[in-house]
Amino acid sequence: MKPIHAYLILLSCVFFSCEKDASSDVNYLTDITIENNKLRCDGIVMQNHTGIINTSEFTYGEKITLLYDNMTGFALQDSLGYPEIDILVLNKKGDTMLFQKELLKNITKGYTEEELNLTSNMTFAKPMLPKNSYEMNVHIRDKHSDAFFILKKDFKIVPNPLLNVEAKNLTYDILYLFSQTRNLAIVDNKVAPNENMYILLENLEGYEVNADGKVNLQGSISLVDADGKVIREQKGLFPDPVDAKDLKDQLYASFSVTEGLVSNPVTCTFEVIDTNTNHSFKVSLDFIVEELKNEPASMSE
């Protein structure tokens, strides 16, 4: 077994939009602290691949977008604004998880007021881990004045509630649902026909390693629809001993549902057993197979 290396790391990026995505009745982000001088905006909108959200809890691997609606207050130079952004994430001990300074330092051009709908993306992943709390700081400032806007938000990384786990003496740090087709971690139960999905574990421990550095595993995966129809059942996922280094690095199972008549919801069950110790891990999830709407444009940037 070789890891697929669909690793998620803590990332952030910034881009600009001429479109005004927010409206007067939009669900602006709450549970935030704002410090500002001259720079201000009408509100901040947060969204993930499901749409607009307003929460302080995120699942591991979740990607969000923050839109600073109608940012004003820049000292315009020839009718152009010149913003700069720093992003900092701290854990509760005050240790730095992420510090990206001057994200726009290589951009020398200015932006019209219409283009200054600043938007930032962030993926919540390593070195952050589930069941831990953090603080996000976004510092927007004007390159040509002392104007600034600082957003602070406390948040927590939580296990994906879609994934139901039964474990016996096998432990892990990270478990998440990943769509290779969409290249993102999934936080809802909607899966498209023929979508390539992965259940991934990282830092799995509790198995017996032989003298050759190998682990003897049994593994199976099944897909059963609401009417009890077996869509897929595969045993013997690990016909050969697995390299312990690869296993600790990443363990995964893939699945997809081809187009056709399926009674929703579909239940996926993935099970692993260490044959030398009988230590085991089983995860199941129920999902809906349907054609998906297009994701919000900024999520694909």
Higher pLDDT among residues 174 and 12, named by residue? 174
Whether residue 161 has pLDDT greater than 90: yes
Judgement on whether residues 36 and 150 belong to the same structural domain of the protein:
yes
Region 240-265 average pLDDT: 92
Which tens digits make up the pLDDT trace of 36-93?
999 999 999 999 999 999 999 999 999 999 999 889 999 999 999 999 999 999 999 9
Number of domains the chain is built from: 2
Judgement on whether residues 15 and 154 belong to the same structural domain of the protein:
yes
Judgement on whether residues 80 and 174 belong to the same structural domain of the protein:
no
Region 92-112 average pLDDT: 91
Q: Specify the pLDDT at position 120.
A: 85
Q: Specify the pLDDT at position 7.
A: 46
Last residue within a domain, chosen from 134, 158, 182: 158
Q: Specify the pLDDT at position 119.
A: 85
Judgement on whether residues 237 and 174 belong to the same structural domain of the protein:
yes
Q: Which domain holds residue 121?
A: 11-158
Q: How confident is the model at residue 13 (pLDDT cuts 50, 70, 90)?
A: low
Judgement on whether residues 133 and 177 belong to the same structural domain of the protein:
no
Judgement on whether residues 177 and 154 belong to the same structural domain of the protein:
no
Confirm whether 263 is domain-assigned: yes
The answer to whether the peptide bond before residue 241 is cis (omega within 30 degrees of 0) is: no
Judgement on whether residues 192 and 146 belong to the same structural domain of the protein:
no
Whether residue 263 has pLDDT greater than 90: yes
Region 168-177 average pLDDT: 96
Judgement on whether residues 169 and 121 belong to the same structural domain of the protein:
no
Confirm whether 298 is domain-assigned: no
144 DSSP β-pair partners: none
Q: Identify the three-state secondary structure at position 21.
A: coil
**Percent above pLDDT 90 for the chain:** 76
Confirm whether 90 is domain-assigned: yes
Last residue within a domain, chosen from 135, 158, 181: 158
Confirm whether 2 is domain-assigned: no
Which tens digits make up the pLDDT trace of 23-37?
445 679 999 999 999
Residue 210's domain is classified under what CATH number? 2.60.40.3880
Chain-wide mean pLDDT for the chain?
89
26-35, 104-113, 289-298: which has the minimum mean pLDDT?
Answer: 289-298
Confirm whether 6 is domain-assigned: no
Task: Provide CB contacts within 8 A for 52, sequence distance 6+.
Answer: 26, 27, 45, 46
Last residue within a domain, chosen from 136, 158, 180: 158
Which tens digits make up the pLDDT trace of 194-225?
999 999 999 999 999 999 999 999 999 999 99
Judgement on whether residues 116 and 251 belong to the same structural domain of the protein:
no
Confirm whether 294 is domain-assigned: no
Report which secondary-structure segment, H or E, holds 242.
Answer: strand 242-243
Judgement on whether residues 133 and 257 belong to the same structural domain of the protein:
no
Judgement on whether residues 128 and 182 belong to the same structural domain of the protein:
no
Whether residue 6 has pLDDT greater than 90: no
Residue 48's domain is classified under what CATH number? 2.70.50.60
What value, to the nearest 5°, has the Cα angle with vertex 123 and ends 8 and 91? 95
Task: Provide CB contacts within 8 A for 243, sequence distance 6+.
Answer: 1, 213, 214, 215
Confirm whether 117 is domain-assigned: yes
Q: How confident is the model at residue 12 (pLDDT cuts 50, 70, 90)?
A: low
Q: Specify the pLDDT at position 293.
A: 75
Whether residue 132 has pLDDT greater than 60: yes
Q: Specify the pLDDT at position 11.
A: 56
Q: Identify the three-state secondary structure at position 113.
A: helix
Confirm whether 143 is domain-assigned: yes
How far apart are alpha carbons 273 and 291 in whole angstroms? 34
Judgement on whether residues 112 and 173 belong to the same structural domain of the protein:
no
Owner of token pair 């692993």: 272
